[in-house]
Amino acid sequence: MKAIKVGLLGLGTVGCGVVRIIEDHQDKLMHVVGCPVEVKKVLVKDLDKKRAVNIDRELLTLDPYEVINDKDIDVLIEVMGGIDETKIYLLDAIQEKKHIVTANKDLIAAHGTELLTAATEKKCDLFYEASVAGGIPILRSLVDGLASDRINKMMGIVNGTTNYILTKMSKNGSSYEEILKEAQELGFAESDPESDVEGLDAARKMAILARLGFSMNVDLEDVSVKGITQVSDDDISYSKQLGYTMKLIGIADRSSGKAEVSVQPALLPDSHPLAAVNNEYNAVYVYGEAVGETMFYGPGAGSLPTATAVVSDLVGVLKNMRLGVNGRSAVAPQYDKQLKQPHEIFAQYFLRIHVKDQVGALAKITALFSERGISFEKILQLPLKGENLAEIVIITHKASKKDFDEILSELHDLDVIDQVKSKYRVEGNGES
Amino acid sequence: MKAIKVGLLGLGTVGCGVVRIIEDHQDKLMHVVGCPVEVKKVLVKDLDKKRAVNIDRELLTLDPYEVINDKDIDVLIEVMGGIDETKIYLLDAIQEKKHIVTANKDLIAAHGTELLTAATEKKCDLFYEASVAGGIPILRSLVDGLASDRINKMMGIVNGTTNYILTKMSKNGSSYEEILKEAQELGFAESDPESDVEGLDAARKMAILARLGFSMNVDLEDVSVKGITQVSDDDISYSKQLGYTMKLIGIADRSSGKAEVSVQPALLPDSHPLAAVNNEYNAVYVYGEAVGETMFYGPGAGSLPTATAVVSDLVGVLKNMRLGVNGRSAVAPQYDKQLKQPHEIFAQYFLRIHVKDQVGALAKITALFSERGISFEKILQLPLKGENLAEIVIITHKASKKDFDEILSELHDLDVIDQVKSKYRVEGNGES
């Protein structure tokens, strides 16, 4: 029986996991796809580096085209990362009629549509389950499992680093800086954590989810992004008092054919399924018109979990090869892109302000909201020790982003306001 | 463009949901499968019954063979329930080369292998996603999403009625009987709740999950079953004090090639993802060797959620029709069935006993455990008011089922024991 030959671009954390799973689970692969699977060639940066797997040095190469142009290789697994150069490699590999499996969210978020089009033209598969939420098979669930439903909302905890930091801040009451340092020491945060803590990593994943879930070409630039670097322990502690949990949430929302995609620290009621997703775990909550609430939970990163998603995609390619139907599963977007404007985006808000301890201060604030027909769900007012100020924390009922932003700028001008300390979106309260 | 024609056996809660989704989501179906989908004929018991959907009376029939033998019908959707007669209908339909989508867990648990074999011979698809956990696409996730992994454990809250009852008992401190009555009034429990509360419904789903997840022909008879009718509010309240949540859990566990499948009320640590699955919701927790912990959460029943799973299966059939690859996705079991014996099944246990208030009582009990090398994780002892007895609640460390059952029978003979009140398995503590 002829073995299927696989080439790898990259042999880092995920790449080593892929090699290990292909070796360890050879019996299952044999059973499912009917023939052995063999790693034929691997692009690396350093031939002599010590690695987490034993791999024949003969298989390694420094030249990507030794992998891309190898006639024996049927499937190319891209786990090297990077965008521009990697895109060229994959397009060239598609010209060589290689099927592609990639874990590269940066690339798919930026150039997924172009790559998919090229692959479909050449009757090649291009799968990328591992690019979103590591080991959670969320993309398949959106495309196949919920194929018959109309998905109207997705909320994702899709970045493990920030979820780890916020979980620890919430449990220990420590500051962002302390926990970040600890996370870096434990390997849960990169030494350069910017793309995680500023929300860009999550934004990429949300763009990919929105594209599939809403069948609409959402670009990375359409995602509004705010990270967690400004989240204070006070914000978290007040949220808790009011029955809410702070998470970095990717929101993709659709109504009347228009979509909104954003990433921001937001508050969820403690009883919401996403509120219990802790530490480095990821989860994607999906609301479908017919199915209602579902949630998919699991490890969002890590060598073996991510590699599982890569190799499961590989199995998909191999099954298609056996049936002779590669390159025919991608579906073009059903809808033209239409994005919501600020007056069409509705949410509840958490607002924390310091006001001067004067008669009528709260009345002036309340007036700004009631002029726009916005009432409050909860208010907390406390004196600030040693200062002639009070702390006011408000959870509003639903307001449009436009109204809320206008109120914010007017608040700054009120004489009773000392400082607007923070504001967050509040989600999952059933007020949608 | 020629429409694909679908026949339905049954037009109850799920059947009406199927008709509604096919109508409402026609644009999405068109986009995904490339042609319209039309309901051609529907088997009903009563032609004149008022139904939750408007359907042309002309489409209804009292004769199953008007649907089964209709040459125009490509796909048969079975949502009538029942086992023996229904099996004959489906086998006959397969002989007529009809693809089958069914939501019938009773049938699949009892005769799934036979039906799948018949379908594969005739190059017909037979899909049954809706038979387990309603709207949660768990079967696809096991087969495709986690295709490359070796699944070693599944724990499921797969019965909504019992989860509703246990959640309410836990929140309100009420008795089983009170909550069952309330659940029946609210429509969360059947007027004859036996198959739910005795665990049989969950056992059927666990047999189906184990078959797919372990690639082994597990039969319904292999599943040991205990229901929730004996769970007392005291058991729940002591569990809570010790940091545990009571759930009806289906467990499918595999190690060294041997499997164990069971359904029983069991305790989970409050921090376990399944512990937060409340009310009528379902969830399946899957532990894969490589991926680690994942969980799939959603509505386990209901007209539209279950119908979503049915129609998503239908989409799978239609995609296969377009590609000409029907009947080729079923994979025969990889492993021969091997079941664990009691000395190979390990778990922690919760044990609640009433002992006579005598010196050395606890020592006698402890001795029985330590003889077999079993120690305790937690002990709670309280005097029982007005009686010369004490209540002892113990959480053991891991013990084999054989050892624990022997200890139980020896406990009954101890003179210091007044009564063994209850015992439960404790799962999810990372002690596996």
Query: Is A105 annotated as contributing to ligand binding?
Result: yes
d(CA B219, CA A262): 47
Residues above pLDDT 70, as percent of chain A:
100
Q: CA A297 → CA B139, B273, B276, B297, distances in Å?
A: 15, 9, 13, 8
CB–CB of A148/B308 below 8 Å?
A: yes
Q: Which residues of A341-366 are buried (b: 16+ CB within 10 A; e: fewer)?
A: eeeebbbbbbbbbbbeeeeebbeebe
Handedness of CA B73, B77, B81, B87 (dihedral sign): positive
The reply to whether A270 touches chain B by the CB within 8 Å rule is no
CB B155 within 8 A of CB B285: yes
3-state secondary structure of B258: strand
pLDDT of residue A432: 46
Q: Is B241 exposed, middle or buried (0-12, 13-18, 19+ CB in 10 A)?
A: exposed
- Which one is catalytic: B168, B205, B340, B401? B205
- B337 is known as an active-site residue: no
B134 to chain A, minimum CA–CA distance in Å? Answer: 9
Percentage with pLDDT > 70 across chain B: 100
Chain A residues with CB under 8 Å of B299 CB are 291-294
Predicted confidence band at A298 (pLDDT cuts at 50, 70, 90)? Answer: very high
Give the type of residue at A17. Answer: G
In the prediction, which pLDDT does B432 show? 46
Q: What is the mean pLDDT of residues B196-219?
A: 97
Which pLDDT score, from 0 to 100, does residue A387 have? 82
pLDDT digits (tens, 9 = 90+) for A145-163: 888 899 999 999 999 999 9
Chain B nearest CA to A324, separation (Å): 9
Residue B129 labeled ligand binder:
no
CB B284 within 8 A of CB B291: no
Is B20 a residue whose pLDDT tops 50?
yes
Q: Which of A39, A144, A325 should be substituted to probe chain B, the one whose Cβ sees the most B Cβ atoms within 10 Å?
A: A144
SS3 readout for chain A? CCCEEEEEECCCHHHHHHHHHHHHCHHHHHHHHCCCEEEEEEECCCCCCCCCCCCCHHHEECCHHHHHCCCCCCEEEECCCCCHHHHHHHHHHHHCCCEEEECCHHHHHHHHHHHHHHHHHCCCCEECHHHCCCCCCHHHHHHHHCCCCCEEEEEEECCHHHHHHHHHHHHHCCCHHHHHHHHHHHCCCCCCCHHHHCCHHHHHHHHHHHHHHHCECCCHHHEEECCCCCCCHHHHHHHHHCCEEEEEEEEEEEECCEEEEEEEEEEEECCCHHHHCCCCEEEEEEEECCCEEEEEEEECCCHHHHHHHHHHHHHHHHHHHHHCCCCCCCCCCCECCCECCHHHCEEEEEEEEEEECCCCHHHHHHHHHHHCCCCEEEEEEEEECCCCEEEEEEEECCEEHHHHHHHHHHHHHCCCEEEEEEEEEECCCCCC
Give the C-alpha separation, B195 to B210, whole Å.
Answer: 20
- Average pLDDT score over residue span B70-92: 98
Take residue B333 and report the two structure tokens written for it: 């079991």
- Is A292's pLDDT higher than 50? yes
Tokens of B344: 């190979």
Residue A140 Cα, gap to closest chain B Cα (Å): 7
Q: What is the mean pLDDT of residues A344-372?
A: 94
Which residues of chain B neighbour A145 with C-beta distances below 8 Å?
Answer: 129, 137, 140-141, 309, 312
What angle (nearest 5°) sits at the alpha carbon of residue A427, between those of residues A144 and A412?
140
Q: What is the largest CA-CA distance in chain A?
A: 86
Query: What integer pLDDT is reported at residue A137 of this predicted model?
Result: 94
Average pLDDT over residues A71-82: 97
Candidates B147, B291, B305; nearest CB to A290: B305
A268 vs B: CB within 8 A = no
> Mean pLDDT score of chain A, rounded to an integer?
95
Residue B431 scores a pLDDT above 60: no
What is the pLDDT at residue A32? 86
Q: Is A13 known to sit in a ligand binding site?
A: yes
Q: What would the pLDDT profile of A381-406 be if each residue is shown by its tens digit?
A: 999 888 889 999 999 999 999 999 99
3.30.70.20, 3.30.470.10, 3.30.70.260, 3.40.50.300: CATH of B342-426: 3.30.70.260
Domain B138-299 fold is: Dihydrodipicolinate Reductase; domain 2 (3.30.360)
Question: Which of B19, B132, B149 to mutate to probe the A interface, most A CBs <10 Å?
Answer: B149
Domain locations in chain B as residue ranges: 4-134+303-323, 138-299, 342-426
Of all residues in chain A, the one with the smallest CA distance to B34 is: A331
Residue B299: closest CA among A152, A300, A298, A286: A286
Give first-to-last CA distance, chain A, whole Å: 56
Among the listed ranges A22-26, A128-132, B261-265, B427-431, which one has the minimum average pLDDT value? B427-431
* CATH architecture designation of domain B4-134+303-323: 3-Layer(aba) Sandwich (3.40)
Whether residues A290 and B308 touch (CB distance < 8 A) is answered with yes
Computed on alpha carbons and rounded to an integer, the radius of gyration of chain B in Å comes to 24
Q: What is the pLDDT of residue B331?
A: 82
CA A239, CA A352: separation in Å to the nearest integer?
Answer: 10
Give the separation between CA A50 and CA A58, rounded to whole angstroms: 15
Instruction: Report whether pLDDT(A44) > 80.
Output: yes
Q: Which of A98, A122, A168, A205 is catalytic?
A: A205
pLDDT at B145: 86
Reduce the DSSP state of residue B390 to 3 states and report it: strand
What's residue A205's pLDDT? 97
Residue B250: count of CB within 10 angstroms of its CB? 29
pLDDT at B330: 83
Q: How far is B296 from chain A (nearest CA, A)?
A: 5
B18 contact A CB<8A: no
The alpha helices in B25-95, defined as continuous H runs, are 26-33, 64-68, 84-95
> What CATH topology corresponds to A4-133+303-323?
Rossmann fold (3.40.50)
d(CA B152, CA B214): 8
| DSSP assignment letter at A353 | E
Cβ contact B307:B18 at 8 Å: yes
Interface size A-B, in CB pairs within 8 Å, comes to: 181
Task: List the single residue in A17, A291, A334 with the smallest CB-CB distance to B299.
Answer: A291
pLDDT band at A420 (very low <50, low <70, confident <90, very high): very high
| B329 interfacial to chain A (CB closer than 8 Å) | yes
Q: Token match 């033998």: residue? A: B69
Please name which of B156, B34, B52 lies closest in space to residue B105, comparing C-alpha atoms.
B156
Give the rounded percent of residues in chain B with a pLDDT score beyond 90.
89
Structural element, H or E, at residue A293: strand A292-299
Check B144 against A135: CB less than 8 A apart. Answer: no
Pairwise CA distance, residues A370 & B12, whole Å: 48
CA distance between the termini of chain B: 56
Mean pLDDT within A3-9: 97
Across chain B, mean pLDDT equals 95
Half-sphere exposure in the Cβ direction for A227 (13 Å, CA): 15
Q: For the stretch A130-145, what's the b/e string if a residue is b when 16 or more beta carbons lie within 10 angstroms of its beta carbon?
A: bbbbbbbbbbbbbbbb
